[in-house]
A and B are shown apart, each in its own frame.
Chain A
């Protein structure tokens, strides 16, 4: 199975900050990388698929980049509703695997 490693596991930021989360795959996954946001007690929400394609309805302050083994999720200007946990997921091969998550908290 492909292992997905996210860093950091948590961070503290303020409204208006630029936030970057990284995700590393244990082998090359081309651009088969997706990002989800999860708030406490809620289901995950798809933000970005294919490394950089913004899902319909997701604000443009979210962006993704990378290919191969290294990927990033960037929130350009953090908003109050963005405090949540973020997961990456590889869709290169079965089984699909998720990163351990990055919790974005309030500074």
Chain B
């Protein structure tokens, strides 16, 4: 059974750093496209970042240069290092498995339950 479990969220001051983790089971993270998608309170879904089954990574313009996506194959885990956090980064962060239909084309078939990041002083 495919399962994704996010951890690492919490309350952090503006300018601070946080590292999110997403532990996967039932499939191999390094063999799949893996993404982070966030949802601000009461708002819609916003894609944040993706790592392909190779090592290619992409970021939304809103987080580029501040966030880093990575994976630990030995632990079958996806990470999101978030630096220089801003109030507008406050959201529930979901990890999701991507199904590639072409090189830069994918949709999300499994999602974790999400972890809340609150950036506030």
Contacts and interface: CB of A to CB of B under 8 A. Distances in A.
B107 A46 contact: yes
Nearest to B106: A91
Contacts of A95: 47, 58, 60
Interface of B: 35, 44-47, 50, 58, 60, 94, 99, 101, 104-114
B108 A46 contact: yes
A34 B45 CA distance: 13
A96 B105 CA distance: 8
Nearest to A94: B104
Given A43-B112, A91-B107, A100 B44 contact: yes
A72 interface: no
A32 B94 CA distance: 22
Nearest to A4: B44
Nearest to B105: A91
Given A34-B107, A46-B109, A89-B107, A99 B44 contact: yes
A42 B112 CA distance: 9
A35 to B, nearest CB: 10
